[in-house]
Amino acid sequence: MIARAFLRFTKRAPVIGTDTDLAAAGGLLTIDLDAVAANYDMLRAEAAGAEVSAVVKANAYGLGMGPVARRLAAEGCRSFFVAEANEGAALRALLPDAEIYVLNGLFPGTAGFYAAHGLVPCLASMAEVAEWREAAKGGSLKAALHFDTGMNRLGMSEADAAALAAEGALTAGIEVRLIMSHLACADDAASPMNARQLARFRGLRTILAGRFAGAKASLANSGGIYLGKDYHFDLVRPGVSLYGGSPFTGREHPFRPAVTVEARVLAVREMAAEETAGYGATWKARGTARMAVLAAGYADGYMRALSSPRPNGDGGDDYGGQVRIAGYTAPVAGRISMDMLIVDVSGLPEGAVKRGDMAELIGPHITVDDVGLKAGTLGYEILTSLGGRYMRIYVSGGKAMTEGGGRV
**What does the pLDDT look like over 262-283, one tens digit per residue?**
999 999 999 999 999 999 999 9
Known binding residues for substrate are: 153, 338
The pLDDT value recorded for residue 398 is 87
pLDDT tens profile 5-34 = 443 333 323 333 344 567 888 999 999 999
List residues with catalytic annotation: 57, 279
Query: Which strands make up the sheet holding 99-102, listed edge to edge?
Result: 54-55, 79-82, 99-102, 119-123, 141-146, 174-180, 216-218
The pLDDT value recorded for residue 273 is 96
Q: Contact 63/31 with Cβ under 8 angstroms?
A: yes
The pLDDT value recorded for residue 20 is 56
Handedness of CA 200, 201, 203, 208 (dihedral sign): positive
The pLDDT value recorded for residue 310 is 63
The pLDDT value recorded for residue 330 is 96
Give me the amino acid identity at 378. L
Closest CA to 184 of 213, 150, 218, 157: 150
Angle between helices 126-135 and 158-166 (to 10 degrees): 30
pLDDT tens profile 324-335 = 999 999 999 999
Q: How confident is the model at residue 4 (pLDDT cuts 50, 70, 90)?
A: very low
Query: Has residue 230 got a pLDDT over 90?
Result: yes
Query: Has residue 371 got a pLDDT over 80?
Result: yes
The pLDDT value recorded for residue 138 is 81
Q: How confident is the model at residue 250 (pLDDT cuts 50, 70, 90)?
A: confident
Length of the chain: 408
How far is the C-alpha of 305 from the C-alpha of 319, rounded, in Å? 10
How far is the C-alpha of 200 from the C-alpha of 215, rounded, in Å? 17
Q: Contact 290/346 with Cβ under 8 angstroms?
A: yes
Between β-strands 358-362 and 341-344, what pairing exists: parallel, antiparallel or unpaired?
A: unpaired
Q: How confident is the model at residue 311 (pLDDT cuts 50, 70, 90)?
A: low
Known binding residues are: 153, 338
Residue ranges of domains in the chain, CATH in brackets? 34-243 (3.20.20.10), 257-389 (2.40.37.10)
DSSP assignment string, 191-257: -HHHHHHHHHHHHHHHHHTTT-TT-EEE---HHHHTT-GGGTSSEE---GGGGT---SSSS---PPP
166-170, 237-241, 306-310, 352-356 — which is least confidently predicted? Answer: 306-310
Phi, psi of 147 (to 5 degrees): -120, 145
The arithmetic mean of pLDDT across residues 241-252, rounded, is 90
User: What are the residues whose beta carbons fall under 8 Å from the beta carbon of 333, sequence distance 6 or more?
Assistant: 277, 278, 283, 289, 291, 308, 317, 342, 343, 344
The pLDDT value recorded for residue 309 is 82
User: What are the residues whose beta carbons fall under 8 Å from the beta carbon of 301, sequence distance 6 or more?
Assistant: 62, 382, 385, 386, 387
What is the CA 382 to chain-centroid distance, rounded?
A: 8
User: % helix / strand / coil in the chain, to the nearest 5?
Assistant: 30, 25, 45
Query: Has residue 1 got a pLDDT over 80?
Result: no
Q: How confident is the model at residue 237 (pLDDT cuts 50, 70, 90)?
A: very high
